[in-house]
Amino acid sequence: MRDFTELPKTGFMRINQILAPAGPIPVSKSTWWAGVKDGRFPKPLKLGARVTVWRVEDIRELIENGA
């Protein structure tokens, strides 16, 4: 897992910034969405019809508590 101190302090992240290889969470998209559905991973926010984001604070908390 990459060093999560590279993440911004606040803001939003898209899925391609969260999941490996670019992001710190080493799971596939299907595993991520299954985890969102069952509550293991944070719920997203919809900024538009085709824009889904997660709060950086939620991703930091997930990493700190074990992804």
Whose structure tokens read 């490996």? Answer: 20
The fraction of the chain above a pLDDT of 70, given in percent, is 91
CB–CB of 27/20 below 8 Å? yes
pLDDT reported for residue 1: 43
- CA–CA separation, 30 and 56 (whole Å): 20
The mean pLDDT of the chain is 91
User: In this model, does residue 5 exceed pLDDT 70?
Assistant: no
SS3 label, residue 43: coil
What is the arithmetic mean of pLDDT over 23-51? 97
User: In this model, does residue 6 exceed pLDDT 90?
Assistant: no
User: Following DSSP, what letter does each residue of 3-17 receive, concatenated?
Assistant: -GGGS-SSSEE-HHH
**Residue 26 belongs to domain spanning:** 4-64
Backbone conformation region of residue 19, classed left if phi is above 0, alpha if psi is from -120 to 50, else beta: beta
The answer to pTM > 0.85 is yes
Number of domains in the chain: 1
